[in-house]
Structure 1
Amino acid sequence: MAQAVEAVPGALGGVPVVTVDVAGGRRDRVVLYFHGGGYAMGSAAASAGLASDLARHAGCRIVSVDYRLAPEHPFPAAPHDALGAYRALLDSGVPADRIALAGESAGAGLALAALAAMAAEGLPRPASAALFSPWVDLTMSGASMTGKAAADPALTPRALHRRVVDYLGAGDPAHPLASPLFAGLASLPPLLVQAGSHEILLDDATRLAARAAAADVDVTLQVTPGVPHVFQGFAHLLDEGAAALAAAGAFLRAHFPADLPPLL
């Protein structure tokens, strides 16, 4: 039987969020979560199912961020909101070592951009980050963008290009907070990067892992064969999705400090 879930809307630093708690989960360990949707679609509420599944496996609270969306709120509104939510979580009394980041697709790219911004600003780094099918290169220069197009049932290069225009307008798609593949990755916390072999963003994941490793980041890359973009969202139908979520939960748990006393 699935654990009971409580999802409560609220705000962090003026940024709307949905706080997800599952029965038995620790509320003093927090995963700050960023939904997908190409920076122009999606919401924290729409991703509550995947967020709650991750909460069950990680055994902790998830705070899903409703960052502002393009084209009404173009870049850099999303990374501004992501960093603002993290600052507010710190200010609320949650230590950085009890915070992790996670996200799916564009949300995973946003999580990485937030990590790069934290490092550049000297903020305390969170414990870890789990990135599902991350979109981290808005220049769309990965070979899989065309090489995997016939295998990808979810995304097309044309659709992603429309989202880039919505998000950036005439801005530079190689800006390090828009395409954090090109950001400084040194000093980042441990990263888990998961992708399916049947997605055009495969090379975003593999190049991110390679660049992070070259920057001496503790990075784990997991590529699951024969599955599509954000296959973790199909965990109730795909054994591979359930296994990936279990691995992500274990990764997040392992990087929180052990035997933490509850926060007062």
Structure 2
Amino acid sequence: MENRNFQMDTQWNVIHYPEKPTGFGILIIGDERHFVDESKCFWTQNEGKLAIINDLKKAGYTIFSSNLYGRNWGSENAIELAQKLYQHVIRNEILNHQIHILAEGMGALVAVRLIEKMKGCIRSVILLNPILSLKHHLEQEKEHKFFYKKLMRELTAAHNMDQKRIESIIFSMEDFVNMEFDCPVKIIHVLTGGKSYTQSKLYQKIIKSPEINPTFILPEKKPLLGKIFIKFLSSNETVL
């Protein structure tokens, strides 16, 4: 069996099985375009992401992911469901209880909260082109009225709040993001376009941890992402 799709709390989830499992699991938390349905998911439909999945499976990783209510923007519902998915997978699969997390874009908002809530259960975390601060993300999008309105609609739906309240909460957040965790965290940013450059400057401004130095790679190096991920993940597997 290559993969298994199943529902939990109305949301579809998927587990991808390697041919030769090593006993280590990876939870993938996707970006805005991410989805999981009854037969497929974004990471197997997208050519670049599928290459990463295949590299990780060849290295023996069991990979699992959830639809997480679509564009959840770090909502409590998404965080709770990710925890339930972890518990389900650990109960039903033969895996080390300490998992890796691979989160992209908006998925970093869920990942950071999971690190806080699941102490002792997370082995390492990779954040790919992460959105770490909703406050700074909103400030960036304010320049683009159409995208700002769209983002506000998604935020109000995800967090079940009206626009005024959610804007008030987000804009009163700290400028810094505390990234001092009890597990290793690696940030990898693929430099594509001006927005990526702005985001890379933001990391310097908002990351409150001397131990985290983002790695920047050029777009032509994207095919190497799977190998880069595996090198980092395996370096954190010496202690079972």
What's the TM-score once normalised by structure 2's chain length? 0.71
Report the AA paired with residue 187 of structure 2: V
* Native 8 Å contact 1:116 1:185 kept in 2: no
In structure 2, the CA distance between the partners of 1:86 and 1:160, relative to structure 1 (3 Å rule), is: farther
Runs of at least 5 residues in structure 1 that lack an aligned partner in the other structure: 150-155, 228-237
Is 1:77 equivalent to 2:71 in the alignment? no
* One-letter amino acid matched to 1:241: K
Aligned counterparts, 1:34-183, within 5 A: 34-37=29-32, 41-44=33-36, 45-48=41-44, 50=49, 52-56=53-57, 58-70=59-71, 75-92=75-92, 94-97=95-98, 99-118=99-118, 123-140=119-136, 145=140, 158-159=146-147, 162-168=150-156, 169-170=162-163, 171-172=165-166
- Please report how far the alpha carbon of residue 29 of structure 1 lies from its aligned counterpart in structure 2 after TM superposition: 0.6
Structure 2 counterpart SS, 1:140: helix
Check whether the contact 2:75–2:110 (CA below 8 A) recurs between aligned residues: no
**1:55 shift after superposition:** 1.9
SS in 2 for 1:128: strand
TM-score, L = length of structure 1: 0.65
What residue identity is the alignment partner of 1:257?
T
Q: Aligned partner of 2:186: which letter?
A: L
Question: How far is the alpha carbon of 1:164 from its aligned partner?
Answer: 4.0
Q: Which structure shows the higher helix fraction?
A: 2
**Residue 109 of structure 1: CA displacement?**
3.0
Do the aligned partners of 1:13 and 1:85 also contact (CA within 8 Å) in 2? no
Answer whether contact 1:90 1:96 (CA < 8 A) is retained: yes
**AA of the residue aligned to 2:238:** P
CA contact 2:74–2:107 (8 Å) conserved in 1: no
Structure 1 counterpart of 2:159 = none
Query: Per the alignment, do residues 189 and 207 of structure 1 end up closer, same or farther by CA in structure 2, a change over 3 Å counting?
Result: farther
Does the Cα contact within 8 Å between 2:133 and 2:177 map onto a contact in 1?
Answer: no
Residue 204 of structure 2 is aligned to residue 223 of structure 1: no
Q: Call closer, same or farther: CA 1:248–1:203 in 2, change over 3 Å.
A: farther
Structure 1 residue aligned with 2:234? 253
* Separation in 1, partners of 2:18, 2:187: 24
**Map of 1:30 onto structure 2:** 25
Verify the 8 A CA contact 1:34 1:111 in the aligned structure 2: yes
CA contact (8 A) 1:15 1:85 kept: no
Identity %: 11
User: In 2, Cα distance between the equivalents of 1:34 and 1:195?
Assistant: 16
Measured against aligned partners, the alpha-carbon deviations of 1:55-112 in whole angstroms (never above 9, x if no partner) come to 24653111012211358x9933222222332344455574443x10012211233222
Please state how far the C-alpha of 1:183 moved relative to its aligned partner: 5.1
The structure-2 alpha-carbon separation of the partners of 1:135 and 1:7, relative to structure 1 and needing over 3 Å to count, comes to same
The 1:75–1:127 alpha-carbon spacing in structure 2 relative to 1, beyond 3 Å, is: closer
Where do 5+ consecutive residues of structure 2 fail to align?
Answer: 157-161
Structural RMSD (CA):
3.8
Q: Contact 2:138–2:148 (CA<8 Å) still a contact in 1?
A: no
How far does residue 242 in structure 1 lie from its aligned partner after superposition?
A: 1.5
Once the two structures are superposed, what CA deviation does each residue of 1:154-180 show, in whole Å capped at 9, x if it has no partner? Answer: xx784365234312342436868xx89
Count of residues paired in the alignment: 220
